[in-house]
Chains A and B, each alone.
Chain A
Amino acid sequence: MHIGIDVGGTNTDAVLVEGRTVLAECKTTTTADVTTGIIKAVGGLRAAVAFEPAVISAVMIGTTHFVNAVVEGRGLAQTAAVRLGLPATRALPPFVDWPPRLRQVIGGHSYLCHGGHEYDGRVISPLDEDELRRVAADIAEKGVRSVAISSVFSLVNGDFERQAAEILTAEVPDLLVSFSHEIGRLGLLERENATIINAALRELAEQIADGLVESLTAQGIDAPLYLSQNDGTLMDLEYARCYPVATFSSGPTNSMRGGAFLSGLDECAVIDVGGTTTDVGMLNKGFPREASSEVLISGVRTNFRMPDVLSVGLGGGSVVRETPSGVEVGPDSVGFRLSEQALVFGGDTLTATDVAVAAGLADIGDATLVRNLDRTLVRSVLDHVCDRIATQVDRLRTCPAPLPVVLVGGGSVLVPDEIEGVSEMIRPEHHAFANAIGAAIAQVGGEVDRVFTIDENRRDEVLDSARQEAVDKAVAAGAKADSVRIVEVEEIPLAYLPGNASRVRARAVGDLVLERARA
């Protein structure tokens, strides 16, 4: 059996899972140091179901800790960006278009060096070792401990990034290195930005990783630890120390995947109604559809693969107001103070939860306190909620046929059973733990995203080799070979280029080998 844990901004949720069965669940408050909350949550599981720590084969954790660190600008290391590409790219040096505050927090040390490749693999200019040694000396003098290395078209050829790292670390032995070709996609600025953010989080990642191991060891658990990534697959702890940035959007991804898992569906919409917001997403082959555009993280433009999730300011804690033009629900919420401020808890703020209790949809707090709520008001609040959620579902729908919807999250009592365009509304058991369950789905992936030169007669061969590479990467990441399947292949010919270059993306996913992970 294994444990899934979701460390959210407010709550830390944990589940104990065996196969497809949830054996125990526990909700505690997230603590500032993360680890105390986890110790409490695991302790809660053991209180619910007695188990020996030795039977745990793996622990999977989803956390918003790293993305929050960037948003709040805390715990970030002094970071240098070394870009290989001169004479190209000089017009737009690293950190261009960054918010000044964040740039200042991590030092904004920027170095433009020779190197880089053309789209077809030709060299733009050879690596200049002396130039890199001078960079290393400067980095050492400035006390920079983490470096992001990017090179033009490193997705076509990553050698220069690796060679530059060797030169830098020969001069500055303890330097932490993040490679752009391992982190991002095509689009140098966005990929470099993601790599810089990753580099800035490396020290924090070490601390958190050590803290996680410690908190589990304190419970006697020595099973391998995994962290959830944006796309819903897992990475092991050693990988997470190097790629903290890959955890950024794991929260919504986990609750969507958890919802789908609980319902047994893999083509559906998932609605997660929390205390403050409602997230709506679509699952395709069990994985969230991916957002297509650039993503701003704390004002920095990146091209992470993020799930396509629509978020509206509507949840169980949303404040309800009557206005001349009708009823308003949210976007402000009483949040975790629901148990003090909501009417059903003796407070004086009318919230969506009070309306749900008055309508008999939920049994929370003291129902007698909302007995006298105006029925017309209750009706119009529920209609309003229904309308807004239906609109979001419709925006995400990809075909005219009605679609099954899985409802998860504490606030989901607010959503009626009938919504336009929805064929079936499923409220699975354990739905309040969908995010922790999503973390516990043990799958790992591999991905290829590169420009290939495609000879028309050898097209299938090229696509097959891209597929195979994705599969190999998934197996290398710990997937059971016979369980790996391709979940996505996309080929985009490069526009305005009368050659035959195409950008090919392939992604493979398979089940984690739990036995091997144990050894």
Chain B
Amino acid sequence: MREIGAAELRHVARGAAILGTGGGGDPYIGRLVAEQALLEYGPVLVAEPHEVPDDALVAGIGMIGAPTVMIEKLPAGEEAVTAFLTLQRELGRSITHVLPIEVGGMNSLAPFPVAASLGLPVLDADCMGRAFPMVQMVVCTLDGVPASPLAIADEKGNAIVVDVHDNNWAERLARSATIRMGCTALLSGFPMSGKQARDVTIPGTLTLASRLGRLVEQARREHVDPCQAIASFLGGRVLFTGKVVDVMRARDPGFAKGEARIEAHDASCRLEFQNEHLVASRDGEVLASVPDLICVLDEQGEPVPAERLRYGQRVAVVGAPCHPRWRTPEGLALVGPAAFGYSHEYRPLGV
């Protein structure tokens, strides 16, 4: 086990924003909340999945709702702890480790206030390896690990537990409760044993985010192209570099949905997004597609969220392979192009 202190949170937050592939929310607020907790309670221990005993009890933590609301209605700070303790009471056993459900975006840091204030280790792993918009879009679903029981808590101290038939229902019911709670809430669920956690999560993703964040700083310091550095680090490649010349947003309630055209001297790239960047294509040919990661970065290597895409930005579109589980038929059924309403067939990103 190693420690993560306030200084390293910055790197994790930056790396997580890149892995957020345009969605997952701006980690600024999440980082500040986690920083406050670490300043108050001290650093947090991070455990590798192999360091977790078989009989450990692991629970996932994440934020649900609209990031745009969270930048306005800031958290009280105890939401995650409330959700966590509610779940623990429901389970009737002590939870020993907390797990980020989603490494992409602000959710990467959601477990830290709980871990810091209760003195529990955070698992160096997550359930997506990137950002996805819905609760059921986790690798655990593929292994039949239920989200349920799932506790949801708001800043007022309200908490509910949903006990659901499957992970799709977890999404529906949790989402409805969240809207009544004012569109931001923290959830704690996916209870699993240490052995299960080893088998069904994506290991090493917190450390990956941290190294990715550090890499961006290093590249800038050494005057190396940060976008190229990010692409190589993630085992992917720069698919396109150019200027955003058009952004069309569709009116689809609840989603930052639309497409952008990015142009270079004689070529153009089409980028389709729904909260996350999902498909990059050129002359009708798909260059990269969900579930592979599509990161849109500015010249400094800062990720550009789908909501902030704007005319005139100079960006690099980086494609990187997703976790292998997402490339299986079951994985593609859950988070492949068809799950987002696209008709093209998924082809793994060529590197």
Residues of A with Cβ closer than 8 Å to B? 85-92, 96-97, 116, 118-120, 122, 124-125, 152-153, 186-189, 282, 289, 292-293, 301, 308, 395-400, 454, 456, 459, 491-501, 503
Residue picked from A188, A292, A495, most chain B C-beta under 10 Å: A495
Which among B66, B77, B182 is the interface contact of A496 at CB below 8 angstroms? B66
* A498 near B72: Cβ-Cβ < 8 Å: no
Question: Chain B residues near A500 (CB, 8 Å)?
Answer: 253-254
Question: Chain B residues near A456 (CB, 8 Å)?
Answer: 251, 253
Q: How far is the CB of B119 from chain A (nearest CB, A)?
A: 19
Question: Chain A residues near B263 (CB, 8 Å)?
Answer: 400
The CA of A308 and the CA of B311, in the complex, are separated in Å by 12
A-B contact pairs, 24 of them (CB 8 A): A88-B75, A89-B155, A90-B76, A92-B75, A97-B32, A118-B183, A119-B66, A152-B72, A152-B73, A186-B68, A186-B72, A187-B72, A282-B312, A395-B314, A398-B245, A400-B245, A459-B251, A492-B249, A493-B254, A493-B255, A496-B133, A496-B255, A497-B69, A499-B253
Main secondary structure of the interface of A (DSSP, over half): loop
Main secondary structure of the interface of B (DSSP, over half): loop
Residue picked from A90, A92, A122, A496, most chain B C-beta under 10 Å: A496
Q: Does B194 contact A (CB under 8 A)?
A: no
Given A85-B73, A282-B312, A397-B312; A503-B245 close (CB under 8 Å)? no
Q: How far is the CB of A72 from chain B (nearest CB, A)?
A: 27
Given A293-B308, A494-B66, A497-B68; A92-B314 close (CB under 8 Å)? no
Q: Does B328 contact A (CB under 8 A)?
A: no
The CA of A98 and the CA of B307, in the complex, are separated in Å by 26
Question: Chain A residues near B74 (CB, 8 Å)?
Answer: 85, 88-89, 91-92, 152, 188-189
User: Contact residue range for chain B?
Assistant: 35 or more
Chain B residues 297 to 339 lying within 8 A of chain A, measured CB to CB, are: 306-308, 310-314
By beta carbon, the residue of chain A nearest B313 is A292
* A90 near B256: Cβ-Cβ < 8 Å: no
Question: Chain A residues near B25 (CB, 8 Å)?
Answer: 496
Question: Chain A residues near B78 (CB, 8 Å)?
Answer: 91
* B77 near A90: Cβ-Cβ < 8 Å: yes
Given A97-B32, A493-B256; A398-B68 close (CB under 8 Å)? no
By beta carbon, the residue of chain B nearest A153 is B72
Question: Chain A residues near B256 (CB, 8 Å)?
Answer: 492-493, 495
Which among A96, A124, A396 is the interface contact of B182 at CB below 8 angstroms? A124
7 further interface pairs, Cβ-Cβ under 8 Å (given A87-B155, A187-B72, A188-B71) = A89-B75, A91-B75, A119-B66, A396-B312, A494-B254, A495-B68, A497-B253
* B310 near A292: Cβ-Cβ < 8 Å: yes
The CA of A153 and the CA of B73, in the complex, are separated in Å by 7
By beta carbon, the residue of chain A nearest B63 is A496
Question: Chain A residues near B33 (CB, 8 Å)?
Answer: 91-92
* B308 near A292: Cβ-Cβ < 8 Å: yes
By beta carbon, the residue of chain B nearest A490 is B249
Which among A87, A116, A292, A498 is the interface contact of B157 at CB below 8 angstroms? A87
The CA of A90 and the CA of B154, in the complex, are separated in Å by 13
* B65 near A122: Cβ-Cβ < 8 Å: no
The CA of A500 and the CA of B252, in the complex, are separated in Å by 8
* B36 near A96: Cβ-Cβ < 8 Å: yes
* A497 near B71: Cβ-Cβ < 8 Å: no
Question: Chain B residues near A91 (CB, 8 Å)?
Answer: 32-33, 36, 74-78, 113
By beta carbon, the residue of chain B nearest A91 is B77
* B179 near A497: Cβ-Cβ < 8 Å: yes
Question: Chain A residues near B252 (CB, 8 Å)?
Answer: 493
* B307 near A495: Cβ-Cβ < 8 Å: yes
* A89 near B73: Cβ-Cβ < 8 Å: yes
The CA of A360 and the CA of B93, in the complex, are separated in Å by 84
Which among A492, A495, A498 is the interface contact of B179 at CB below 8 angstroms? A498
The CA of A124 and the CA of B175, in the complex, are separated in Å by 19
Q: Does B275 contact A (CB under 8 A)?
A: yes
Q: How far is the CB of A89 from chain B (nearest CB, A)?
A: 4
Q: Does B60 contact A (CB under 8 A)?
A: no
* A87 near B73: Cβ-Cβ < 8 Å: no
Q: Does B100 contact A (CB under 8 A)?
A: no
Q: Does B191 contact A (CB under 8 A)?
A: no
Q: Does B23 contact A (CB under 8 A)?
A: yes
Q: How far is the CB of B185 from chain A (nearest CB, A)?
A: 12
